[in-house]
Structure 1
Amino acid sequence: MQTRSLRSLVHVARIGSFAKTAEQLNMTLSALSMQIKALESELGVALFDRSVRPPRLTPIGRSIVNEAIPLLHREESLLEICRPTGSLVGRFRIGFVTTAAVRLLPAFVRNAQEKAPLAAFEFETGLSRVLQKKVANGQIDAAVVTDADGLPETLSGRIIREEPFVYAAREDFLGDGLSGLLQRQTFFHFMPDTGIGKLIAAEMAVHDRPRNARTVMLDNLEAIMECVTAGLGFTLLPEPDVQRYRSRAVKTLPSPEHLRRKLVLATVSDGILASRETALADLLGAGGLHD
Structure 2
Amino acid sequence: MDLELRQLRTFLAVAAELHFSRAARRLHVSQPALSQQIRALERTLGAALFDRSSRATELTPAGRVLLDAAPRVLYEAERAQSLVTQAANGAVGLLNVGSVGTALASITPRILRSVRAHFPDLQLEVSQQDTAAQLVALTDGSLDVGLVRAADPTETVAIEHLVSEPLLAAVPSDHPLAGSASIVPEDLADEPFVLWPRPLGRAFFDIITSYCLDHGFSPRIVAEGADIETQLGLVAAGLGVSLQPSYYANLRPPGVAFLPLEGDVPQIALQVAWRRTDRSPAVAHFVDAALECARTP
**Contact 2:193 2:241 (8 Å CA) reproduced:** yes
Match of 2:18 in 1: none
Match of 1:136 in 2: 139
State the TM-score, normalized to the length of structure 1: 0.58
Distance verdict in 2 for CA 1:167–1:117, change over 3 Å = same
Match of 2:29 in 1: none
Larger radius of gyration: 2
User: Is 1:117 the counterpart of 2:120 in the alignment?
Assistant: yes
1:199 to 207, 226, 229: 207
1:270 to 273, 277, 284: 277
**Displacement of 1:236:** 0.4
Match of 1:187 in 2: 193
Residues 80-159 of structure 1 aligned to structure 2 (within 5 Å): 83-84=88-89, 88-148=91-151, 150-159=152-161
**Contact 2:167 2:268 (8 Å CA) reproduced:** yes
Distance verdict in 2 for CA 1:231–1:124, change over 3 Å = closer
Distance verdict in 2 for CA 1:214–1:118, change over 3 Å = closer
**Displacement of 1:192:** 2.3
| 3-state SS in 1 of match to 2:210 | helix
**Contact 1:160 1:281 (8 Å CA) reproduced:** no
- 1:162-188, Cα deviation, whole Å (9 max, x unpaired): 222111224622669435632332222
**Displacement of 1:215:** 3.4
Structure 2: which amino acid aligns with 1:162?
A: S
Match of 1:208 in 2: 216
Give the whole-Å Cα distance in 2 for the aligned partners of 1:208 and 1:146: 26
Of 202-211 and 119-128, more deviation after overlay is shown by 202-211
Match of 2:177 in 1: 173
| 3-state SS in 2 of match to 1:153 | coil
**Contact 1:156 1:268 (8 Å CA) reproduced:** yes
Give the whole-Å Cα distance in 2 for the aligned partners of 1:105 and 1:206: 32
Structure 2: which amino acid aligns with 1:161?
A: V
| 3-state SS in 1 of match to 2:88 | coil
| 3-state SS in 2 of match to 1:152 | coil
Distance verdict in 2 for CA 1:81–1:116, change over 3 Å = closer
Match of 1:219 in 2: 226
Structure 1: which amino acid aligns with 2:213?
A: A
**Displacement of 1:112:** 3.1
Distance verdict in 2 for CA 1:177–1:287, change over 3 Å = closer
Give the whole-Å Cα distance in 2 for the aligned partners of 1:82 and 1:154: 24
**Contact 1:143 1:267 (8 Å CA) reproduced:** yes
Unaligned runs of 5+ in 2: 1-83
State the TM-score, normalized to the length of structure 2: 0.57
Distance verdict in 2 for CA 1:187–1:119, change over 3 Å = same
Structure 1: which amino acid aligns with 2:207?
A: L
Unaligned runs of 5+ in 1: 1-78
| 3-state SS in 2 of match to 1:184 | coil
Distance verdict in 2 for CA 1:159–1:278, change over 3 Å = farther
Residues 239-278 of structure 1 aligned to structure 2 (within 5 Å): 239-247=246-254, 250-254=257-261, 257=264, 259-273=266-280
Match of 2:292 in 1: 286
**Displacement of 1:153:** 1.4
**Contact 2:184 2:261 (8 Å CA) reproduced:** no
**Contact 2:167 2:265 (8 Å CA) reproduced:** no
- 1:1-34, Cα deviation, whole Å (9 max, x unpaired): xxxxxxxxxxxxxxxxxxxxxxxxxxxxxxxxxx
Percent sequence identity over matched residues? Answer: 17
Structure 1: which amino acid aligns with 2:192?
A: T
